[in-house]
Amino acid sequence: DPHVAKFVYDFTEGNRDLKDLLGGKGANLAEMTNLGLPVPPGFTITTEACKVYLDSGEEPAALRDEVSAHLDALEQKMGKKLGQADNPLLVSVRSGAKFSMPGMMDTVLNIGLSDASVVGLAQQAGDERFAWDSYRRLIQMFGKTVLGVDGELFEEALDDAKTAKKVTVDTDLDAADLKKLVKQFKKIVKSEAGRDFPQDPREQMDLAIRSVFESWNTDRAKLYRRQERIPGDLGTAVNICSMVFGNLGPDSGTGVAFTRDPASGHQGVYGDYLQNAQGEDVVAGIRNTVPLAELEQIDKKSYDQLMQIMETLETHYKDLCDIEFTIESGQLWMLQTRVGKRTAGAAFRIATQLVDQGLIDEAEALQRVNGAQLAQLMFPRFDDQAKTELLGRGIAASPGAAVGKAVFDSYTAVKWSRSGEKVILIRRETNPDDLDGMIAAEGILTSRGGKTSHAAVVARGMGKTCVCGAEELEVDTKRRRMTVNGTVIEEGDVVSIDGSTGKVYVGEVPVVPSPVVEYFEGRMHAGADDADELVAAVHRVMAYADRVRRLRVRANADNAEDALRARRFGAQGIGLCRTEHMFLGERREMVEKLILADTDDERENALGALLPLQKKDFIELFEAMDGLPVTVRLLDPPLHEFLPDITELSVRVALAEARKDHNENDLRLLQAVHKLHEQNPMLGLRGVRLGLVIPGLFAMQVRAIAEAAAERKNAKGDPRPEIMIPLVGTVQELEIVREEADRVIAEVQAATGTDLRLTIGTMIELPRAALTAGQIAEAAQFFSFGTNDLTQTVWGFSRDDVEASFFTAYLEKGIFGVSPFETIDKDGVGSLVRSAVEAGRATRPDLKLGVCGEHGGDPESVHFFHEVGLDYVSCSPFRIPVARLEAGRAAA
C-alpha cells in the first residue's frame, strides 16, 4: 500500500538520489551496493522516522515491526542471528544526515555482543583477544553515547590497565587483560548510569537507534548546523550495517582514502591506513596511521581491488570521492563513500581537471565551486621572503595563513577571542567538544592525526587554517605549553601556522596577498608551478562564468583608485558612487560653511567653492571607467555627519565661555548642531530631502557631473554618467529634483556644445518607493535597489546597531539563519524587490534595474537577483570576482 509510510529501506532498495530520506551515508551505501561493490549488507531507517521521534518523543508506531522484518531478512542473508550465543551477527548503528556532520552525531559499533555471545564470537573467529576487545569497545561506546557515561572514565580505566602492564598501546593488552577491563567497564556503567549494560541484543539496538535520533539535537550538532547553515529540521537517518572487523589481526585493518588529493586535486594514492584497528580509530587520530600507498606492501590483493573501486566510484560520481573501508582477514569491504570535501583551491582545480577528462561540462564545473571558496582563495598568505623561525612541521590540512597567541584548550580560545585576541588553538588532537574553540581560533594546530583526523576535516569544512599531525610537538595541555625540540611555547606566545605547507613558526610571520588576488590585479599569469596551477584553474572557471552569466557586475566605488581596481577585477561599471565620501577630510569645512550659510550669498559662495572640487573628482572617475556606466548618487547622509560631535562641541564651547574666550564660529556651529540634531537621523533629513530643502546643493552636484562629462567628451573620452537620487519615497520628490537637474544639464550642454545623454534614476530603498514603483518609474530611467536601507526600513532594524545588540540571540533562536543585512530576506524584502521590478517594467519596459546594497556581493543574494531579473549587481571591488562567479553559477 503506497499510502503507508515506509520507514526502513534495505541497502538494495535505495540510491544516491534519496539523500533527503536516507541521509548521505545511507543513500551512498545503497548506491555502492547497487554498483556491485562489496558493501556489508544492512538497512537504513529514514529521516522521516527521526522527525516523528523528535516531534513526538516516540518512535513511529510502525517502526518496530519494520525493523524486525528487515532484521529477519538480514539474519537470513548472513546465516546468523543478532547476538546469537554461538555465532553472533553483530551490527553497527550509524547516524547519517543529508549533509555530512563529521563526528557530530552518534555511532555505536559491535551491537549484539553480550556476556554470552562474546564467547561465541571468540570461538567463531578463533581469537579470544579480538572478541573481548570488541566487547570492551561496545560497552565503552554504548556507555558513553547511549547511556551518557563520561567517556573519560573508560579512557582512564584503559590507561590504568596499560600502565599496570607497563605497555603503551592497547594492542599489547591480551584477552585476560581485556576480560578484566570489561568487568570494570560494566561496573562503571552500573554506577554511573544506574543500570546494567543491557544483555539483550535487540534492546541494545533499539536504544542505540533512539540515541542516534536524539544526537541530532545535541548542543554541538546544533552549533555545527548553525555554522554550516544546515537546516535544523532535517533529522538524521540511521544505518544498521552488519559488522566487518578490522581488528582481527595483522591481515585486517581499516582506512580512509580519497580518489584525488583533497588539498591539490592531483590524482594519485591519497589516504591513511591503520592495521589491526576498527572503526573510528583512523578518523579519531588515536594511533598513527601509515600512508595508503603502503597497503600495497601489506596486502596487494586488497590494495589492487581498492584502486579499481576508487576508479569505478570516480567515474560513476564524476567527482572526488572519499571512502572508508575495512579489510577483514584479507577481504575488502566498503563502509562509506561520498563526494569528498576539499579545499577551495582543489575545488577549482578538480572542476577543470574533470572538464579536461570529459567527465563534466563547463556548466557542471560551475556547480562544483562557489563564491565562498573563491573568497577564501583571496585571503592573504605568508610572505616567503620574510625571515622566519621554523618551529616544526605538520600536515597541511586546511590552507591559509594564521597568526595568533597559543592557547591549549577551547575554553581559553573562546574567552580570549571574545576579548579581541587572535588565538591559535593547539591540541594533541581535537574532538567534537573542541568545536567552539575551533570556531573562535584563527587556526588549529595538532600534534596527532592525519589529513582525515577530526581537526582536519572540521577545519576544512569551516575554511579555517589547520596544521595537524605535527609529531615533534609535545603538547602539554595541563601545563598550558608545548615543547618542540627544546623550544618551549607557553600559553600566550605568538605562533604562525601555514595550512598550505604545514609549517609552524615562532612569532608573527608577515602576510602577503594571495596569488589569486595577484592574478585578478593583473600581476600574475598562469604558468607551471603550484600557485600558477591554481591561478590557471580560477582563470578558466571565471571564463566559464563570464560566458553564461546574464547579470552584469558593477562596483561600489567612490574614487579613481577603487574604480581602477574594480575594473581589473572585472567590473562593468560603477553601480554606486557615494558622493558623501568626497566631502570628508579638509572639505568638511566647506560643507560646514554651506550648512551655516544664512544668506543666499554665503550659500552660493560655499557651493561655488565645492563645485570645482566635485568636478575634478568626477573627471577622474569617468576617466577610470571610460566607456562604462558610472552611477553617481547625489548627497545622501544626514547633515550632522559633517558637523562636529554635539558633546565634544558643547564641552569646547563651555570651556571657552569659562575662559571668557568667545568664539563666534563655534557658537554658530553649536546652534546648527542643535538645530540639526535628530532622534532618528536615518529617518530624518537625508537623501532627496536634502536636495529639496537646501537650495542649490543638488544643482551644484548635477552641474559638476555634467561639466565633468562634457570635459571628458571634449577630450575624446567616453563618459557614461547616470545620476541617482537617494531615499525617494514618492514620485513627486523625484519630479521636482529632475526638473532642476534637466535644466542644469541643458545649460551645460548649451554652454559646452555637447550632447551628454545623461540618465536620471533613483534608488528604491524605502518600502513606499517599492510599493509605488509603477508611479516612480514614470520619472526614473533606472532603479537601483538600496537593500541596506530597504532591509532597515522593512524590518524596522537599525542597520548600525542591531547586529551587535540582539542578532546573536535571534540567530541562536533560529529566527533567521543569517543576518538579513548579509543575505537578502527573500520572503520580505525580496518580495518587495520582486514586485517593484514588475511594476517598474510595466510602466517603462526599458527601465534599467540593479542593486547596490551590500547584498550585491553576497552569493545567495546574487542568485536571487538573477532570478527576479535585475540587469546588474553592484558590490565592493573585492567582491566582484565572487559576484561574477555566482552570477555565472546562477545562469548555468
820 interface partner picked from ligand PEP, Mg ion, none, CB below 5 to 8 A per type: none
Q: Which is nearer to ligand PEP, 580 or 620 (CB)?
A: 580
762 binds ligand PEP (CB under 6 A): no
Q: How far, in whole angstroms, is CA 222 from its chain's centroid?
A: 16
x/- map, 438-457, ligand PEP, by CB under 6 A: --------------------
Active site residue 852: yes
User: Backbone phi, then psi, for 578, in 5-degree steps?
Assistant: -85, 105
In the bound complex, what is the minimum distance in angstroms from residue 779's beta carbon to ligand PEP? 20
Closest residue by beta carbon to Mg ion: 789
Buried b (16+ CB within 10 A) or exposed e, 730-760: ebebbeebbebbeebbeebbeebebebebbb
**Is residue 745 within 8 Å of 710, Cβ to Cβ?**
no
Of positions 578, 593, 652, 844, contacts ligand PEP by CB under 6 A: 578
**How many residues touch Mg ion (CB under 5 A)?**
3
In the bound complex, what is the minimum distance in angstroms from residue 830's beta carbon to ligand PEP? 14
x/- map, 245-284, ligand PEP, by CB under 6 A: ----------------------------------------
d(CA 407, CA 569): 38
Name the residue among 849, 847, 841, 730 with its Cα closest to residue 785: 849
Dihedral Cα 374, 377, 853, 856, nearest 10 deg: -10
Helix (H) or strand (E) holding 710: helix 697-714
End-to-end CA distance of the chain: 40
Query: Which one of 50, 70, 321, 454 is the catalytic residue?
Result: 454
d(CA 469, CA 478): 19
Q: Which is nearer to ligand PEP, 287 or 578 (CB)?
A: 578
d(CA 519, CA 525): 6
Q: Which is nearer to Mg ion, 351 or 849 (CB)?
A: 849
Q: Which is nearer to ligand PEP, 253 or 726 (CB)?
A: 726
In the bound complex, what is the minimum distance in angstroms from residue 792's beta carbon to Mg ion? 8
Q: Which is nearer to ligand PEP, 279 or 786 (CB)?
A: 786
d(CA 33, CA 17): 14
Q: How far, in whole angstroms, is CA 707 from its chain's centroid?
A: 46
DSSP string of 186-241, one letter each residue:
HHHHHHHHSSPPP--HHHHHHHHHHHHHHHTTSHHHHHHHHHHT--TT--EEEEEE
Residue 693 cell numbers, joined = 530643502
The answer to whether the Cα torsion of 307, 310, 314, 320 is positive or negative is negative
112 interface partner picked from Mg ion, ligand PEP, none, CB below 5 to 8 A per type: none
In the bound complex, what is the minimum distance in angstroms from residue 686's beta carbon to ligand PEP? 9
In the bound complex, what is the minimum distance in angstroms from residue 770's beta carbon to Mg ion? 13
Residue 281 cell numbers, joined = 580509530
d(CA 322, CA 452): 10
**Is residue 104 within 8 Å of 145, Cβ to Cβ?**
no
> Quick one: which segment of 34-42, 337-345, 606-614, 758-766 binds Mg ion (CB under 5 A)?
758-766
Beta strands in 442-580 (DSSP E): 443-446, 465-468, 473-476, 481-484, 487-490, 494-498, 503-506, 511-512, 552-556, 574-578
Q: Which is nearer to ligand PEP, 253 or 786 (CB)?
A: 786
**How many CB atoms are located within 10 Å of the residue 681 CB?**
16
Please identify which residue in the block is written with the cell numbers 616544526.
392
What is the footprint of Mg ion within residues 777-836 (CB under 5 A)?
786, 789
576 interface partner picked from ligand PEP, Mg ion, none, CB below 5 to 8 A per type: ligand PEP
In the bound complex, what is the minimum distance in angstroms from residue 853's beta carbon to ligand PEP? 3
272 interface partner picked from Mg ion, ligand PEP, none, CB below 5 to 8 A per type: none
**How many CB atoms are located within 10 Å of the residue 852 CB?**
28
399 binds ligand PEP (CB under 6 A): no
576 binds ligand PEP (CB under 6 A): yes
Name the residue among 819, 745, 730, 813 with its Cα closest to residue 775: 730
241 interface partner picked from ligand PEP, Mg ion, none, CB below 5 to 8 A per type: none
In the bound complex, what is the minimum distance in angstroms from residue 852's beta carbon to ligand PEP? 4
Q: Which is nearer to Mg ion, 469 or 786 (CB)?
A: 786
42 interface partner picked from Mg ion, ligand PEP, none, CB below 5 to 8 A per type: none
Q: Which is nearer to Mg ion, 402 or 851 (CB)?
A: 851
592 binds Mg ion (CB under 5 A): no
In the bound complex, what is the minimum distance in angstroms from residue 690's beta carbon to ligand PEP? 13
Q: What is the DSSP letter of 559?
A: S
**How many residues touch ligand PEP (CB under 6 A)?**
10
The answer to whether the Cα torsion of 76, 79, 84, 90 is positive or negative is negative
In the bound complex, what is the minimum distance in angstroms from residue 409's beta carbon to ligand PEP? 41
819 binds ligand PEP (CB under 6 A): no
578 interface partner picked from Mg ion, ligand PEP, none, CB below 5 to 8 A per type: ligand PEP
In the bound complex, what is the minimum distance in angstroms from residue 578's beta carbon to ligand PEP? 5
Q: Which is nearer to ligand PEP, 59 or 765 (CB)?
A: 765
- Counting every residue written for the chain, the total comes to 892
Q: Is 661 exposed, middle or buried (CB count within 10 Å of its CB: 0-12, 13-18, 19+)?
A: exposed
x/- map, 774-793, ligand PEP, by CB under 6 A: ------------xxxx----
696 interface partner picked from ligand PEP, Mg ion, none, CB below 5 to 8 A per type: none
Where helices occur in 238-336 by DSSP H, the ranges are 295-298, 300-317
Q: Which is nearer to ligand PEP, 347 or 780 (CB)?
A: 780
d(CA 878, CA 267): 32
Q: Which is nearer to Mg ion, 322 or 765 (CB)?
A: 765
Pairing of strands 759-764, 782-785: parallel
In the bound complex, what is the minimum distance in angstroms from residue 631's beta carbon to ligand PEP? 11
787 interface partner picked from ligand PEP, Mg ion, none, CB below 5 to 8 A per type: ligand PEP
What is the footprint of ligand PEP within residues 635-664 (CB under 6 A)?
636
Active site residue 321: no
What is the footprint of ligand PEP within residues 820-879 (CB under 6 A)?
852-853
Of positions 322, 765, 858, 860, contacts ligand PEP by CB under 6 A: 765
C-alpha distances in angstroms, 67 versus 30, 64, 142, 393, 430?
17, 5, 20, 49, 35
In the bound complex, what is the minimum distance in angstroms from residue 787's beta carbon to ligand PEP? 5
> Quick one: which segment of 183-191, 649-657, 712-720, 764-772 binds Mg ion (CB under 5 A)?
764-772
593 interface partner picked from Mg ion, ligand PEP, none, CB below 5 to 8 A per type: none
Name the residue among 786, 789, 784, 787 with its Cα closest to residue 800: 789
d(CA 5, CA 823): 37
Q: Which is nearer to Mg ion, 497 or 723 (CB)?
A: 723
d(CA 342, CA 322): 10
Query: Which one of 468, 852, 863, 875 is the catalytic residue?
Result: 852
> Quick one: which segment of 379-387, 401-409, 513-521, 761-769 binds Mg ion (CB under 5 A)?
761-769
| Amino acid, single-letter form, for residue 525 | H
Q: Which is nearer to ligand PEP, 475 or 882 (CB)?
A: 882
List residues near ligand PEP by CB under 6 A.
576, 578, 636, 765, 786-789, 852-853
List residues near Mg ion by CB under 5 A.
765, 786, 789
Catalytic residues: 454, 852
